[in-house]
Amino acid sequence: MSKRLIPYITMDGNAKDAIQFYEKALDAQLLFIQTFGEMPENPEFPIPAEVKARVGHATLKVGETELMFSDTFPGSPFSSGNQVSICITTDSVEQSRKMFDALQQGGQVGMALQETHFSPAYGNVTDKFGVTFQIFTEARS
């Protein structure tokens, strides 16, 4: 069972610029980038044309660790200076569920822990201290 904590930076439409900046400033390597338009379509949540070029998820390798990014979806709240969350990455749905359940006590769930196109169990929660955590379970191959 593995567990990692990864800083996750959310931008307001300028994630591509931030990624290019941090690639140079931190001598980082882009491992993955996917725009909202490249994500699988979901008829329940259609993606407006003006959002398709925004970054849905990206990962930079910085030394021996990672830094993750995304842009907000229009209409989602954004506050400059408060755009960093912590992504807890595990390889166990059970471990993810246990941490998610503990963190939501006295906090607020942003997205219930659930299966997505990119994870068998993903969700986000702001704990009772105001710290936002994303819980990401890696798919087993």
Tell me, what's the pLDDT at 76?
Answer: 79
Higher-pLDDT residue of 73, 10: 10
Encoded tokens for 110: 């942003």
Neighbours of 69 (CB within 10 A): 23
Encoded tokens for 126: 């702001």
Number of separate domains in the chain: 1
Confidence band, pLDDT 50/70/90 cuts, at residue 129 = confident
pLDDT at 141 over 70: no
How open is the CA angle 30-37-3, to the nearest 5 degrees?
A: 45
Tell me, what's the pLDDT at 135?
Answer: 95
**pLDDT tens digit sequence for 60-99:** 999 889 999 999 987 777 777 678 899 999 999 999 999 9
Neighbours of 79 (CB within 10 A): 8
**pLDDT tens digit sequence for 16-61:** 999 999 999 889 999 999 999 999 888 888 889 999 999 999 999 9
Q: How far is CA 11 from the centre of its chain?
A: 11
Running DSSP on this structure, what letter comes out for residue 72? P
Q: Are 11 and 18 in contact (CB under 8 A)?
A: yes
Residue 107 structural domain: 3-137
Task: Identify the CATH number of the domain in which residue 118 sits.
Answer: 3.10.180.10
